[in-house]
Amino acid sequence: MKAVVLLSGGLDSSTCLALAVRELGAGEVLALSVSYGQKHAREVRAARDVAAHYQVALEHLDLSCCFARSTSSLLDHSSEDIPHEDYAAQLQGRPGGLVSTYVPFRNGLMLSAAAAWAQSAGAERIIYGAHADDAAGRAYPDCSPEFVRLMGGAIREGTGGGMILEAPFISSTKADIVRTGLELGVPYELTWSCYEGGEHPCGVCGTCRDRIRAFRLNGAEDPLDYRTATR
């Protein structure tokens, strides 16, 4: 085993997996999927489908206990609704910078779990799908280049050296990622991004809007069935 890829089942991490498999081969990659109490537990199924498509081994961890007290609107136990706006609009009303779907240090926790798995499995690399759009305006500070630099340093140091954290899309927009993924033939019809828990993506939450726009910017159409007027 050479690399552990954090695989949410969404567009960014599925494209990360495609890159890793192309470089290393499916047998050298472990995909790690995490439940953290998200409303869109549907994405865990998508992670399984994407991993199966690439014939990559998948492990699933349930870390939802760590967020039992969080009021993030992304969590199933939250009484707050998922905002139906894009991130820029959401941030306008929040001078502190965080959006309501931010989950406290979620990515730090998932990367730490990935480091534990990677070292246990003898892997030397951890790959995750942080990208520039998510870090913009500090909507998700656990996607910023500085976070990746520091967390990567902590993982390297804390595992005794040698372990590398990679975020291949840290300087890319979601449209860049879709372009790469279309070239690689990523099965985007198997992925799931929507923050709502429905059977079909809502088309109006921040991540649905981002995703639809990213395909449009590539002159392509998102293969998901939104069944809404906004598509």
How far is Cα 135 from Cα 133, in angstroms, rounded to an integer?
5
Q: Which stretch binds a second copy (CB under 8 A): 18-26, 45-53, 157-165, 189-197?
A: 157-165
- Considering the complex, state which of residue 70 and residue 180 has its C-beta at the smaller distance from a second copy: 70
Chosen residue from 25, 27, 93, 153 binding a second copy by CB under 8 A: 153
115 touching a second copy, by CB under 8 A: yes
- Considering the complex, state which of residue 3 and residue 113 has its C-beta at the smaller distance from a second copy: 113
Task: Using alpha carbons, select from 177, 146, 145 the residue that is nearest to residue 10.
Answer: 177
Positions 75 through 114 that interact with a second copy (CB under 8 A)? 96-98, 102-109, 111-113
Pairing of strands 164-166, 57-62: unpaired
- Considering the complex, state which of residue 6 and residue 109 has its C-beta at the smaller distance from a second copy: 109
Half-sphere exposure for 151 (CA within 13 Å, toward CB): 26
Sorted by sequence, the CB contacts under 8 Å of residue 228 that are 6+ apart come out as 202, 203, 204
Pairing of strands 125-127, 57-62: unpaired
Q: What is the contact surface with a second copy in residues (CB under 8 A)?
A: 61-63, 65-71, 96-98, 102-109, 111-113, 115-121, 138, 141-142, 144, 146-147, 150-151, 153-155, 157-161
